[in-house]
Chain A
């Protein structure tokens, strides 16, 4: 695994777009043109365009990610393989001669844009139960749709300390407090819930761990260790909030009696060790075992008595040359995106640790939607909500068919995260 710190060191002397005016080696070969993959409104298949870039890297081809240029366009070699792949996927390409590429780079140099080389195929792992369908998870759904290869891992791989085999780890709606998303009381008897409980309990037994909350906390700690060692973590929905709750609750019992046989410690809130959490601090825990709410980190409380209506969130406009990492994560053809619920939909500003970068938030609201931060040698990104194109998603809803949303700006944010580890760039923090 190449850590984030490694590639910063390796690239310490490499500058921005102006440092390689001709672009990468493939682009400087005389007579060989490039393909520009525009990512603005002219693109016919935004989501599959990421897959196109990913597969180019898999074939050993290199490219550039043109941050803030035409919606975060890609520049790929004008190879037959790229042309064929784009045609099959329906991705729009614009042939560009070396002269035109030089013109693009010149324009990038003059504006709040940057060209980031893409040269490493990220090894992607998705943490999901073995029996989960791809349609249960927005990330697996969009990875499948875009055609990006990934491995599915779960507790056995994590507990066997195999996380180092991957660069990028995704978590979705796992409940790291080990309370089965707190669905137990209100959905008792539902076959899917029974199946989930049986699977989790048998895994804990197999690993010799006393109960599911203890297992999930151990998994959370290993995931934090993965980030600490330079891994890239991306989490959505409940995984964001519960990961931090699990990490911070190392010395106390925050799980309901149905999960570990003992009720939640009534003073658990005062025993939380927030310094161990990645993003949040000072949250108040939800004591009711029947309410599918974990704490006051989530601003929308979709299953709580203070449920808030959905609005829209805006992406922050970062300086591409100075803050390339957050800039990569917010590349989009839309600045304002309709919000969508999840068990954890958003993050209250007053619960976010100082130093965390807010990538997207709802203007005037007390919550943010999209966060990024560092932990040890790695980074993490948290994105609230369950499915960007199914704002009211409920248990048992029909799966989202992404071919109906090929331009989804909400899904693009997920894919920015997938390609982010492929990019190599010297970091210059503001």
Chain B
């Protein structure tokens, strides 16, 4: 990239030389030399370029040609004599001067390089380029001292505190002076805020032990720009909320400045999905919204609300969504989206009546599918609130498979197992999402195994499970099992055992699956033994687990779990690699 930039500068500076040839075809000896270079015959090309310079010693194309060809042939030093002559003949040609600076520096002749830097700088007073070219060329040959001398000379000559600050910052960082690097970056950013992204990117690579010194330096400086840099770095180094909070106190006055800064923040947080990052993102979007008006403000608020909701901060999300839903500047799509998100938040909070009221407001603007989806969500929420009639009423006009599924679940949540089983059966084994279909079939199987028409205790335990209260759910199902006939009791105990296992309570699981492994419940016993075998194996009792699996295979050869049992047994006896490799 740097070479590319150098080439651009060189081409521009040689433009007067080339201008006369712009519309004329390249012919004669220079064309022959260029042809040899294209063919890869570099010796011949160098010979040709030298030949051209014999008759036209300041020919830009020939000098450039030699500058390309000779280093490849490891003959860079041969360039310097014709280049010196060219500079002598055309002493204001910046292209020649920059080539001289670069090539002397690359040859390690820093005094000669400096001579040409002085001549170049005299032509372009206040320009950093001569010093930068020297420094970067010196760095290419790992002469850090010469690079430092070049940059410091440049700052003295230009007499500006921020002159060559980005280059000096990188040099200080490479020298192991993180505070010095931060100070230089701060100078650069204060002078030109567009350097902020580079400053954050490069300072951000500091090793953890250097970071406190950088933050301390910026804190000590105390200027708004220092705080902005500090905030960005904290955000990058794992303190997103604190970083955004620091930025919020030092927002640039201009809208553009704010937007650029917030965009940097959001880019930095992009790809992170942890709650802290999402909260920081929400705050940053709110900052942005505070600087904007109209539709742009609404979009920023929507992004903030989504981030709050993703972070699990429903109250914050709700606050913003309510603002958007009532904002006349909100475009219809955004308002609807906000309202839907708000509906979800209200349902998650358990504010079902408020959610239904919001739905009624939204309904005219919703598509048919969106209406059905929202009604099903509200119906389930009513069922969770034990308002089963209201739940059923909401589904009255929906004859989709998904509605049958929800009706079944509503009845199950009410403990009305008869109608629950009937609706779940009507919904069938298919759904848009496989997991949903599997859950439905599992619930239907359980209900059928229980074989009772009404069991309010089942509904109560299921509602506990839906609320995420597994402890209550497991206890509820376990207690209920004690009141049921064998097949139903075993199925319910196995179900409860799976739930207990999912939360790592192996003692409760073992007790439940042991009770589920009954001769009078042949449909459940094999699965119960599989669970027991897995627990035994996890405890290092592979032999006991293996014997259990053998008993399972022999006693229930037709069971669907037998292939899995055989595979597990093979793993225990080392016949196949265990999961995760061999």
Q: How far is the CA of A14 from the CA of B553 in the complex (A)?
A: 41
Set A84, A90, A147: member contacting B575, Cβ < 8 A:
A147
- Determine if A134 and B574 form an interchain contact, defined as CB atoms under 8 angstroms apart: yes
Does the CB pair B550–A403 fall under 8 Å? no
If the complex has contacts A88-B550, A88-B554, are A399 and B570 also in contact, measured as CB distance less than 8 A? Answer: no
With both chains docked as a complex, state the minimum distance between the C-beta of A259 and any C-beta of chain B, in angstroms: 29
CB distance from B563 to the nearest CB of A (A): 7
Shortest distance in angstroms between A159's beta carbon and chain B's nearest beta carbon?
Answer: 28
Q: Of all chain B residues, which has the CB nearest A144?
A: B575
> Cβ of A135 and Cβ of B566 under 8 Å apart?
no
Cβ-based interface call for A322 (8 A): no
- How far apart sit A89 and B575, CA to CA, in the bound complex (Å)? 11
Residues A145 and B553 in contact, CB atoms below 8 Å apart: no
Which chain B residues border A398 with CB–CB below 8 Å?
A: 577, 581-582
- Asked if B577 and A401 make an inter-chain contact with CB atoms under 8 angstroms apart, the answer reads yes
Q: Does B557 contact A (CB under 8 A)?
A: yes
Say yes or no: A145-B550 contact (C-beta < 8 A), given A88-B566, A133-B582, A403-B567.
no
For the complex, give the distance between the alpha carbons of A402 and B554 in Å: 22
**Nearest chain A CB to B424 CB, angstrom units:** 33
Q: Which residues of chain B come closer than 8 Å to A135, judged between CB atoms?
A: 577, 582
Q: Does B576 reach chain A (CB closer than 8 Å)? A: yes
Interfacial chain B residues near A399, Cβ < 8 Å:
577, 581-582
- Give A392-414 interface residues, CB cut-off 8 Å to B: 398-399, 401-403
Interface size on B, residues (CB 8 A): 17
Q: Is B148 an interface residue (CB 8 A)?
A: no
Q: Kindly state the separation between the CA atoms of A84 and B574 in the bound complex, as whole angstroms.
A: 20
A403 touches B554 (CB 8 A): no
**Cα distance A135–B576 when bound, in Å?**
9
> Does A87 count as interface, using CB distance less than 8 angstroms?
yes
- Tell yes or no: B196 within 8 A of A by CB: no
Question: What residues on A are CB-neighbors of B570 within 8 Å?
Answer: 145, 403
Q: Check if B569 is an interface residue, CB within 8 A of chain A.
A: yes
Task: Name B15-42 residues within 8 Å CB distance of A.
Answer: none
Q: How far is the CB of A91 from chain B (nearest CB, A)?
A: 10
CA distance A229 to B563 in the complex (A): 44
Bitwise, A179-190 to B at CB < 8 A (1) or not (0) is 000000000000
A132 to B173, CA, bound (A): 50
CB contact list, B534-578 vs A, under 8 A: 550, 553-554, 557, 562-563, 566-567, 569-570, 573-577
A34 to B562, CA, bound (A): 25
Q: How far is the CA of A145 from the CA of B566 in the complex (A)?
A: 11
Q: Is the CB of B569 within 8 A of A88?
A: yes
Beta-carbon contact of A87 and B582 below 8 Å: no
Give the chain A neighbours of B553 by CB distance below 8 A. 87-88
8 A Cβ contacts from A61-106 to B: 84, 87-90
Q: Residue B576 contacts which of A88, A89, A133, A403 (CB distance < 8 angstroms)? A: A403
**Closest Cβ of chain B: how far from A217's Cβ, in Å?**
32
B554: chain A residues at CB < 8 Å are 84, 87-88
The winner among B567, B575, B576, B582 for most chain A CB atoms within 10 A is: B575
In the complex, the chain B residue whose C-beta lies closest to that of A145 is: B575
Minimum CB distance partner of B571 in chain A = A403
Q: Please, which residue of chain A has its CB at the minimum distance from the CB of B550?
A: A88
Contact string, A134-146, partner B, CB cutoff 8 A, digits 1/0?
Answer: 1100000000110
- Chain A residues near B582: list those with CB within 8 A: 133-135, 398-399
Taking CB atoms and an 8 Å cut-off, the chain B residues in 253-299 that contact chain A are none
A403 — which chain B residues lie within 8 A by C-beta? Answer: 566-567, 570, 575-576
Residues of B contacting A84 with CB < 8 Å?
A: 554
Kindly name the residue among B553, B566, B573 whose own CB sees the greatest number of chain A CB atoms within 10 A: B566
Q: Is there an interface contact between B576 and A90, defined as CB atoms closer than 8 Å?
A: no
Q: How far is the CB of A8 from chain B (nearest CB, A)?
A: 35
CB-based contact B581/A90 at 8 Å: no
Q: Is the Cβ of B557 less than 8 Å from the Cβ of A87? A: yes
CA distance A294 to B233 in the complex (A): 59
Residues of A within 8 A of B573 (CB): 147
* 6 closest residue pairs by CB, A with B: A399-B582, A135-B582, A399-B577, A403-B576, A145-B575, A144-B575
Give the B-binding residues of A (Cβ under 8 A). Answer: 84, 87-90, 133-135, 144-145, 147, 398-399, 401-403
Question: 16 extra interchain contacts, Cβ-Cβ under 8 A, other than A135-B582, A144-B576?
Answer: A84-B554, A87-B553, A87-B557, A88-B550, A88-B553, A88-B554, A89-B566, A90-B566, A133-B582, A145-B570, A147-B575, A399-B577, A402-B575, A402-B576, A403-B570, A403-B575
Q: List 6 A-B contacts (CB under 8 A).
A: A90-B566, A135-B582, A144-B575, A398-B581, A399-B581, A403-B575
